A and B are shown apart, each in its own frame.
Chain A
């Protein structure tokens, strides 16, 4: 490792990911779905950044761009001081063992015909992380141990595990190559309430025990994101509308969308609920195929003024690293 590594493990600048919409026999491009439209953020070493937003806001697309599963339309993804946005596949493979992905659905993200041990161990083989069979076996057992699974279960197949255990296998697989960054894409939303806490705690414990492990935690559940993240970025229609410390976001949300989103999450306490502000937004999220002009949120915004439909508000700092994209605040 070189010594002059910067503080940020990941620095994303003006990332854009457009998906073409084609029509007709010649598959002519008629439009673009602007899934991610000019997103910039940094992720520090050892930090957890939460990425929240409703379905279709582009949060998963960002995760996939970082891992090189999509080639971004524009922008740069600086991972450990190298811009990997346009890396060819071969070079990408070399950096990819430093990053990993935990998927949402523990049922479809594990190969049903592969046993648990080989699912967890496969990255070790692909990235030549082990020298021989016994080292391989030891590492797989160690990984099982780390995520709280009995190493004697390596020969079992995914269908023999419960949802929570499957997600543990997913976590073990992500940890196999000793990554510096794990993109967690809705890792708990498919699990039962009582199992979710087990996985959240596992992820937190891992971060405490593994040196310099950063998470990009993608989820739609604000309470979970607030719990696990150091900082949170709120996305709407392919853009970040607010980014700041997790506590600050809850104590002092500034963007009207963030405020509405927070107020829409019920708290499991009837006494607190009685006095909470409730902002019920009008309408639904517009299609990213045809986003509204200006601020993407203005048609639903309760604070909108005519100027809001003129220009896209840039993210600006309002102090203490709290950034917000709104001209009304």
Chain B
């Protein structure tokens, strides 16, 4: 099957005074049409940077050092970051929703100006049509009284409402893929539920694919069809949502699932924390980055380089030497 987006061996690095930080180190993944994919990891694991790299939104001292981003048969990384080809994709065909609805909207422009800009730029709508379309989009994402509110400024809106505006903006040019980078992290629980439901409805309606970048395993368990787990700049496990949650195989994934308190847990359940800290990404060794924290480690793990993603079962891949299935009983 032809994938909508295929990322191969993406490497994004930051040159810092203390050394080279490979924030994304050989990441490969794909997204199918009309699919909801979860990209999960802790802060600093490269999940956001990998998505910003797809959009070519990396600025110095960061650089995309290698890899391919194949979208609609073309390698996006061959294009200039600010060239016309990339601009015609960014925002129009691949849209992004950022974490901070407070800072990702321009405070000195009205919501209407920011929504219509996209329509006029990408779809060449004239002012009046764009305004009508913007009002339509705003009511579609659940902003009541859109005609009156379109001339408001971002500070007139609450956090949840701003994120709705961001969703409307992402949808405005009918993109093929929406990348939502921690879309609900800064919001309250009930607002978070509202927005995730809204996003799910919208991607179904617009036949769009959705990438949810998050650290919240619950969110992806509820919405994603496939999941990628990232650690220290690499994907360590990938598979369907059921693979990942019911039969996790990478020690990191297993650890993550044991260390989060579950709402439906029995009373007195102990959390099993992952000991140690996420690694510092400066000048990483070639061996497995999870090794110092791993409870499944083998002798060969310290000697041999990090293994590639290997299939364990159908579409379920892990990057690990250990036989976690036997021990994880």
A201 on interface, CB distance cutoff 8 Å = yes
CA distance A194 to B40 in the complex (A): 12
In terms of DSSP, what is the predominant structure of the interface of chain A? Answer: helix
A279 to chain B, nearest CB (A): 8
- Residues of chain B within 8 A of A280, CB atoms compared: 193-194, 197
When the two chains form the complex, which single residue of A193, A228, A269 contacts B245, counting CB atoms closer than 8 Å? A269
Does B189 contact A54, Cβ atoms closer than 8 Å?
A: yes
Specify which chain A residues have a CB less than 8 angstroms from the CB of B255 in the assembled complex.
Answer: 194
Of A35-43, A131-139, A260-268, the one contacting chain B is A260-268
Q: Which residues of A contact B242 (CB under 8 A)?
A: 270-271
B305 on the A face (CB < 8 A): no
- How far does the alpha carbon of A239 sit from the alpha carbon of B149 in the complex, in Å? 31
CB B210 to nearest CB in A, in angstroms, measures: 16
Given contacts A162-B277, A266-B218, A281-B194, contact A224 B261 (CB under 8 A): yes
A284 contacts chain B at the CB level, 8 A cutoff: yes
Count of chain B residues with Cβ under 8 Å from any Cβ of A? 44
Assess the B263–A226 pair: CB atoms within 8 A.
yes
Q: A162-B277, A164-B277 are in contact. Are A196 and B259 (CB under 8 A)?
A: yes
A25 contacts chain B at the CB level, 8 A cutoff: no
Contact of B271 among A192, A201, A220 (CB under 8 A): A201
B188: contacting residue among A54, A192, A228, CB under 8 A: A54
Q: In the complex, A168→B77 CA distance in Å?
A: 44
Q: What per-residue 1/0 map shows which CB atoms of A189-216 lie under 8 Å from chain B?
A: 0001111111011000000000000000
Contact with A along B246-283 (1 / 0, CB 8 A): 10000000011101111111010111111101100000
Q: What is the CB-to-nearest-CB distance from A106 to chain B, in angstroms, rounded to a whole number? A: 14
Q: Taking the complex as formed, is B241 at the interface, i.e. its CB lies under 8 A from any CB of chain A?
A: yes
A312 at the interface (CB under 8 A from B): no
Chain B residues contacting A19 (CB-CB under 8 Å) are none
**Which one of A162, A220, A260, A265 contacts B263 once the chains associate, using CB atoms below 8 Å?**
A265
| 8 Å CB contact of A250 from B191, B217, B219, B264 | B264
B-chain residues with CB within 8 Å of residue A264 when the two chains form the complex:
189-190, 192-193
The answer to the question of A227 belonging to the interface, with a C-beta cut-off of 8 Å to chain B, is yes
Residues of chain B within 8 A of A268, CB atoms compared: 217-218, 221, 245, 257, 260, 262
| B-contact 0/1 string along A239-269, CB 8 Å cutoff | 0000000110010000000001111111111
Contact of B205 with A by CB under 8 A: no
Q: Contacts A263-B193, A267-B221, A268-B218: A223 and B261 contacting too (C-beta < 8 A)?
A: yes
Could you write out 15 A-B pairs with CB less than 8 Å apart? Answer: A54-B189, A162-B277, A193-B42, A193-B259, A197-B259, A227-B261, A227-B271, A228-B261, A266-B222, A268-B218, A268-B260, A268-B262, A270-B221, A270-B241, A284-B191
Chain A to chain B: the 6 pairs with minimum beta-carbon distance, closest first: A266-B218, A227-B261, A264-B193, A197-B273, A197-B259, A54-B188
